[in-house]
Amino acid sequence: MNSPEKNAERAPQPIVIATAISVVQSLAVIAFGIFLIVRELMGKENPSMISESSAGGFVGVGTALFIFVVFGFVIAGSWALLKGKRWGRGAIVLVEFILAASSFQMLSGGAVVLGAVVLVSAVAVLGLLLFVPASAQWSARNF
Furthest-apart CA atoms within the chain: distance in Å: 65
pLDDT in tens, the chain (143 residues): 444 444 447 899 999 999 999 999 999 999 999 998 998 888 777 666 656 666 666 788 889 999 999 999 999 999 999 998 888 999 999 999 999 999 999 999 999 999 999 999 999 999 999 999 999 999 888 87
H and E: helices and strands count for the chain: 6, 0
Nearest to 102 by CA among 5, 88, 94: 94
- Residue 11 is classified by DSSP as P
The pTM of the full predicted model, rounded to 2 decimals, is: 0.85
